[in-house]
Amino acid sequence: MAQLSDDCFAFGGPMLSVDEAVGIIAAKVTAVQDIESVALVAADGRILARDIAAPLALPPFTNSAVDGYAVHGSDLPRGTEKTLPVKGRVAAGRAAQAAKPGEAVRIFTGAPMPEGTDTVFMQEDVRLDARGNVVLPAGLKAGANVRPAGEDIPQGQVALKAGQRLRPQDIALAAAFGLTRLDVARRIRVAVFSTGDELASPGTPRAAAQLFDSNRFMLMAMLRRLGCEVSDLGILRDERDPLATALKRVAGEHDLILTTGGVSTGEEDHVKAGVESAGRLVLWRMAIKPGRPVAMGIISGTPFIGLPGNPVASFVTFVHVVRPIVLALSGAAPAPILPMPVRAAFAYKKKSGRREYVRVTLRRAADGALEAQKFPREGAGLLSSLVDTDGLVELPEPVTSVEPGDTVGFLGYANLM
Ligand code: AMP
Ligand code: MG
């Protein structure tokens, strides 16, 4: 388990900006050290544990980029077309015979270049005469339509870096090197609880004043997308001591404990009290909307995050606090999410000094520009506002208003987890 010091989430001042929060996380949270080897088919989304230097140049041998005719550079027609006899044929996967100057070789995409040749005429650009000789047009440069060995990646170059969250194209590169397994950081183990007497688990009876727990399932799905191994620990009742006991019990077996609900400062906010009796707690009052205070704690060396109960606040604070911690614990290189510029199709007033997120749908406007349309309502409890939209418009701290037509930064949901 990653062991963090009790005061590692402390900060000075009453309010924490999103960047300060991310900075504290980057400075204090260290990665779990365990490494495991996984087959390529199981590597998607995993965090690469060691740099990979190319054991092989890519492409491994010089080959043709097109179907056509390979020739010596010295035979390139100058001024007028030129006719060469076709001697030999080389298909992809076959060994090529050397070709003499004055000869063309029929060649196909991916086939090795015959020794001596360095240029390929595309078959569309040539014609064959009655005797089967190839007639080459003038104007092609030496080296055209050839992929030199190592042009993609030279042998020995670091091609994948430790900390890379592996994507399909990264796995393709490892396969191109002939690797079958990759060393990755072990998945971090995250314990997830919901809290609140008003919650019922789907599949159990719901009393009149209860609602079904939705946050836990949202958070578990987000954590899994980030590559975590998730323990679903159900719902904790609003009661300090059992809460403290449960938190202490899971701390030793997990790298992170995540709860939702019960962390404001009201008298019914028992998570705070529970964490305070089980370990250390700091309330992060973040300058972010939607978002309520986030409780940050350490229980027996294990980081604890208490997210707000309102689903939208829970979602947004997950992105800014849980995601960076999960990535840091997992050994992933820091991955700031860069907003994409889109045109606002809405007006909005906001407080200066606070970062705000507006739930929006993207659409193509009549002039072809991408436009963000604001979800009509703003409540932090509206799940439909997350379901019926494509992402969040991020309004930086200094902004005080948005007018239709302004350029704003858009974060698609798929990029947030
Ligand atoms: P709390 O942060 O506990 O004060 O909760 C704030 C609001 O979020 C209340 O309306 C709760 O009922 C709601 N809430 C808390 N936890 C969940 C959850 N797991 N799923 C859905 N709604 C929740
Ligand atoms: Mg509650």
Shortest-distance ligand to the CA of residue 193: 1
pLDDT in tens, the chain (417 residues): 667 888 888 887 788 888 888 888 888 888 999 999 999 999 999 999 999 999 999 999 999 999 999 999 999 999 999 999 999 999 999 999 999 999 999 999 999 999 999 999 999 999 999 999 999 999 999 999 999 999 999 999 999 999 999 999 999 999 999 999 999 999 999 999 999 999 999 999 999 999 999 999 999 999 999 999 999 999 999 999 999 999 999 998 999 999 999 887 777 788 888 888 888 888 888 899 998 789 999 999 899 999 999 999 999 999 999 999 999 999 999 878 899 999 999 999 999 999 999 999 999 999 999 999 999 998 989 999 999 999 999 999 999 999 999 999 999 999 998
CA angle 246, 249, 250 (to 5 degrees): 90
Compute, in angstroms, the gap from residue 207 CA to the centroid of ligand 2: 16
Q: Assess whether the C-beta atom of 311 lies below 6 angstroms from ligand 1.
A: yes
pLDDT, tens digit (0-9, with 9 covering 90-100), for 283-342: 888 899 998 789 999 999 899 999 999 999 999 999 999 999 999 999 999 878 899 999
pLDDT the model gives residue 1: 61
In 3D space, the residue among 80, 79, 133, 131 whose CA is nearest the CA of residue 104 turns out to be 133
- Which atom of ligand 1 lies closest to the CA of 195? 16
Ligand 1 atom having least distance to the Cα of 310: 8
Q: What is the pLDDT of residue 152?
A: 97
Separation of alpha carbons 397 and 412, rounded Å? 20
Residues in a beta bridge with 47 = 165
Q: Among the atoms of ligand 1, which is closest to the Cα of residue 263?
A: 2
293 lines ligand 1 (CB under 6 A): no
Nearest ligand to the C-alpha of residue 383?
1
Q: How far is the CA of 235 from the centre of ligand 2 (A)?
A: 11
pLDDT at 176: 98
Mutate to test the pocket of ligand 1, among 193, 210, 215 (most ligand atoms within 8 A of CB): 215
Residue-wise pLDDT tens digits, 26-48: 888 889 999 999 999 999 999 99
In sequence order, what are the residues at sequence separation of 6 or more whose Cβ sits closer than 8 angstroms to the Cβ of residue 69?
Answer: 84, 86, 104, 105, 106, 107, 120, 121, 123, 126, 134, 136
Q: Is 278 in the pocket of ligand 1 (CB under 6 A)?
A: no
Q: Is the CB of 261 under 6 A from ligand 1?
A: yes
Its pTM stands at 0.91
Question: What is residue 278's predicted lDDT score, i.e. its pLDDT?
Answer: 86
Residue 181 burial (CB count, 10 A): 13
Nearest CA to ligand 1 atom 11: 309
d(CA 232, CA 336): 28
Ligand 1 center to 38 CA (angstroms) = 38
pLDDT at res. 2: 62
* Choice from 222, 260, 264, 267 to test ligand 1 binding pocket (greatest atom count within 8 A of CB): 260
CA distance 176 to 143: 24
Helix (H, G, I), strand (E, B) or coil at 394: strand
- Minimum-distance ligand to the CA of 260? 1
- E-state strands within 250-339: 256-260, 280-284, 288-289, 294-299, 302-307
pLDDT at position 371: 98
Q: Is 198 touching ligand 1 by the criterion CB < 6 Å?
A: yes
Atom of ligand 1 nearest to the CA of 198: 12
Question: Does 397 sit in the ligand 1 pocket, CB within 6 Å?
Answer: no
Nearest to 31 by CA among 185, 169, 147: 185
User: Whose Cα sits closest to atom 15 in ligand 1?
Assistant: 309
- State in Å: Cα 195 to ligand 1 middle: 8
Confidence at residue 408, expressed as pLDDT on a 0 to 100 scale: 98
Does the beta carbon of 214 lie inside 6 Å of ligand 1?
Answer: yes
